[in-house]
Amino acid sequence: MNKNSIVAFLLFILFFNAEAQYQSPKTGSLNKEYPILIKENIVKDKFVPAAFNSDKVGGYLYEKMKINLEKRLLQIDLESILTPYKKRPGVQEWTGEHIGKFLHAAALQYQTTGDTILKRRMDYAANSLIATQLADGYLGTYLDKDRWTSWDVWSHKYNMVGLLAYYRITGYKPALESSKKMGDLLCSTFGKNKKDIIASGTHVGMAATSILEPMVELYRLTGESKYLDFCNYIVSAWEQDNGPKIVSGLLTHGSVFKIANGKAYEMMANLVGLLEMYKLTGIEKYLIAVQNAWLDISTKRLYLHGSTSHDEHFRDDHILNPSGIYNNNSKYRGPAEGCVTVTWMQMNLLLLKITGEQKYAQQLETTMYNALLAAQNPNNGEVCYYLPLIGRKRYGEVTHGILPDISCCASSVPRGIALIPSFSAGTINNSPTVILYSSGSFRHTLFSGQKNTDVELVIKTDFPLSGKIDIAVKSPKKVKYAVLLNVPAWADDFIAEVQGIKYPGKAGTFLSIEREWGVEDHIEVNMGMPLTVLPDNNKGSKLVAVKRGPQILALDDNIDAVKGLPEKRWIGNQVYKFSAKQLGLLKNFIMVPLADAGQSMADYTVLIDSIQIVPEK
């Protein structure tokens, strides 16, 4: 072992012991939100996520969330992402974002798993971060002379996101107090006759102004009007001469490609904040602006795997380059930045909550099964920054100056995976609703005057291997209400059966089954999982993709046409063989879900020459 290796090993032992010896504060228990909102939203959510029972989970999505926990969140070197605060300045301009993103992902994951080791790590991370806050409230990684330049406000944004998420599940008041100190400093720094927040950050100010999202939450939790004033200042700053014109642009031309410099991640982060402002204020144009953006993205800029952007930017209408490229400085650039995927999901989840419309649930399903889950390596938890439809997954190859494998996307993708239980099931207009078909238990409270009813839905299935699902509907007594089932857009033969009565579902809608439910009734769901051929939506392309149920499939160079999946180190049991006519010839194909493809670093492709699938006899 050389000298450098010995030093690295000793540092690892030092950091490990510091975390292991840390005593967690007493902060409450699982699945309880301790803080009481001082300011309620004017717009009430139509979709409300259900409480998730971590004791009764299983199946495909559970395994993906388990990988996220055990191979990512429990393995991240916390000292590497705390050091930029303990020893300012950070080695890289946005290095300060990672600890806040970790706290956000950990809080979401802990809320549904109750993992005690994760809780200990989360406590250590939160308290270590808070301890580095300066007396005036500053919690960035820059020297005094460089404050409020480049990505400084951005890092404060993610610290607030992380600490407030931690506070919401633990009630740990120092996390809220730290956020208030940051909020107070921002209010005293930026505004009319003060520093210009647009000029303080990158991408036409969109990086800095994305702090709108946690500032809305800070106002809800405190009721202090200065925070709402600051939120209104941000929205007005967008319309300055040097601003990105987010609201006015989306209300007029409606094209995200024409907003500012088209930077997808930062723009959608602002749209997430704008939706929170809509919920808080009820100002209709805020919702309309975001819905215009959603329509523009979903119809003109969305890849088949459910994500968007190339080289981190929105491109012109239907310009969807499926491959990665090397630019002039030899850096790899490609489609579907991981941060974009997660923020697109956050945007869709908020729209689902606000409207209760199935199209947003459908988009969440598509993006989650394909672009999100495909971005994380099931073998080791590493994340690929871009997700091409043709090429290979470059897991862990972007580090942004922090080793190993720390980048903006490596810190964002775990947040997206931890978000999955938030849209698995819930209530829409007080009706228990199943969005995703994955084994688990979900608890709902139905409100009816003074008599509330607790309902539990217990789902058992091997979906997406098959389309057979058993849903047990449990309640203390017989009660009449409707259960809503998501009928995916691809499910043309969806049938639900209760006590011999069949209820056909229409693809792309919610099926409502209203009846008097007993103490325990069962819904038997059957839907076909057909192989379908989808045309590529890149302008001028004649290629196609194959989809099975919710999953986009891929050809992987390491999958043998005869032997099938590799015998070693392949995680996943889905493999699909079929025959198809291609270029006049009958060929045999063997494909796997995009989420599994490329895990062994082989080249893969989603897009192939047009085929006609031969039905099985």
CB 412 within 8 A of CB 342: yes
Q: Are residues 507 and 576 in the same domain?
A: no
pLDDT above 50 (res 596): yes
What kind and span of H or E run contains 426? strand 425-428
Exposure on the CB side of residue 557, measured as CA atoms within 13 A: 11
Residue 29 has pLDDT above 80, yes or no: no
Within a domain: residue 182?
no
Q: Which of 526, 553, 584 corresponds to the end of one domain?
A: 526
Question: Does the pLDDT value for residue 27 go beyond 50?
Answer: no
pLDDT value, residue 19: 67
- The per-type count for the chain, helices as H runs and strands as E runs, is 16, 23
What residues have CB less than 8 Å from 479, skipping those under 6 apart? 446, 453, 455, 516, 517
Together in a domain, 485 and 435: yes
What torsion, rounded to 10 degrees, do the Cα atoms 157, 158, 161, 162 define? -150
Cα separation, 318 vs 415, whole angstroms: 28
549 located within any domain: yes
- Burial class from Cβ neighbours inside 10 Å (0-12, 13-18, 19+) for residue 22 reads middle
Residue 276's nearest CA partner among 353, 164, 175 is: 353
User: How many domains does the chain contain in total?
Assistant: 2
Same domain, 434 and 517: yes
Pick the residue with more confidence: 564 or 388?
388
Q: Are residues 541 and 492 in the same domain?
A: no
In the predicted structure, residue 18 carries a pLDDT above the cut 90:
no
Which amino acid is residue 582, in one-letter code? Q
Any domain includes 103? no
Q: Which two tokens stand for residue 77?
A: 């070197």
- What domain range is 599 assigned to? 531-613
What pLDDT score was predicted for residue 3? 42
> Average of pLDDT values for 156-164?
98
Is 231 among the domain residues? no
- Does 514 share its domain with 575? no
pLDDT of residue 13: 41
- Asked if 539 and 554 sit in the same domain, the reply is yes
Straight-line distance from the first to the last Cα atom of the chain, in angstroms, rounded to the nearest whole number: 62
Q: What is the pLDDT of residues 520-549, one digit of tens each?
A: 999 999 999 999 999 999 999 999 999 999
If you average pLDDT over every residue of the chain, what do you get? 92
In a domain, 204, yes or no: no
pLDDT in the model for residue 398: 80
- Categorize the per-residue pLDDT at 54 as very low, low, confident or very high, splitting at 50, 70 and 90: low
Q: Say which residues have a Cβ less than 8 Å from residue 70's Cβ, sequence separation at least 6.
A: 381
Q: Which of 49-53, 85-89, 145-149, 254-258 has the lowest mean pLDDT?
A: 49-53
pLDDT band per the 50, 70, 90 thresholds, residue 15: very low
Taking the C-alpha atoms of residue 340 and residue 577, their distance in angstroms, rounded to an integer, is: 32
Looking at the domain assignment, is residue 457 inside a domain?
yes
436 with 518, same domain: the answer is: yes
Strands 440-446 and 453-461: antiparallel
In this structure, are 452 and 513 located in the same domain? yes
Whether residue 156 is predicted with pLDDT greater than 90 in this model: the reply is yes
Residue 394 covered by a domain = no
* Mean pLDDT to the nearest integer, 192-211: 97
Assess whether 434 and 522 both reside in one domain: yes
Range 123-126 contact pairs with CB under 8 angstroms and sequence separation of 24 or more: 123/22, 123/24, 123/25, 123/27, 124/19, 124/22, 124/24, 124/78, 125/78, 125/82, 125/99, 126/162, 126/163, 126/166, 126/172, 126/175
CATH number of the domain residue 455 falls in: 2.60.40
Residue 10 confidence class, pLDDT cut points 50, 70, 90: very low
Q: Using the structure block, give the residue that is written with the tokens 């809503």.
A: 484
Q: Is residue 446 part of a domain?
A: yes
Residues 482 and 459 in one domain: yes
pTM to 2 decimal places: 0.94
Query: Per-residue DSSP letters for 44-60?
Result: PPSEEEPEEEGGG--HH
> What are 57-74's pLDDT values in tens digits?
678 999 999 999 999 999
pLDDT confidence band for 131 (50 / 70 / 90): very high
One domain for residues 491 and 517 = yes
pLDDT attached to residue 576: 95
Query: Over 50: is that where the pLDDT of 2 sits?
Result: no
Give the rounded percent of residues in the chain with a pLDDT score beyond 70.
92
Q: pLDDT tens, 489-523?
A: 999 999 999 999 999 999 999 999 999 999 999 99
Name the more confident of 33 and 601. Answer: 601
Q: What is the pLDDT of residues 415-461, one digit of tens each?
A: 999 999 999 999 999 999 999 999 989 998 888 766 788 999 999 99
User: Residue 334, Cβ neighbours under 10 Å: how many?
Assistant: 24
Q: Are 103 and 126 in contact (CB under 8 A)?
A: yes
CB-count burial class (<10 Å; 0-12, 13-18, 19+) for 45: middle
Average pLDDT over every residue of 124-132: 98
Q: Is the pLDDT of residue 478 over 50?
A: yes
Q: Is the pLDDT of residue 21 over 60?
A: no
Domain's final residue, options 526, 550, 573: 526
Is residue 553 within 8 Å of 545, Cβ to Cβ?
yes
Query: 486, 507, 526 — which closes off a domain?
Result: 526
303-359 pLDDT tens trace? 999 999 999 999 999 999 999 887 766 678 899 999 999 999 999 999 999 999 999
Contact between 565 and 592 (Cβ < 8 Å): yes
Instruction: Write out pLDDT tens, residues 392-422.
Output: 999 988 877 777 779 999 999 999 999 999 9
- For residues 521 and 448, state if they share a domain: yes
Report pLDDT for 24.
59
Per-residue H/E/C for 459-507 = EEECCCCCCEEEEEEECCCCEEEEEEEEECCCCCCCEEEECCEEEECCC
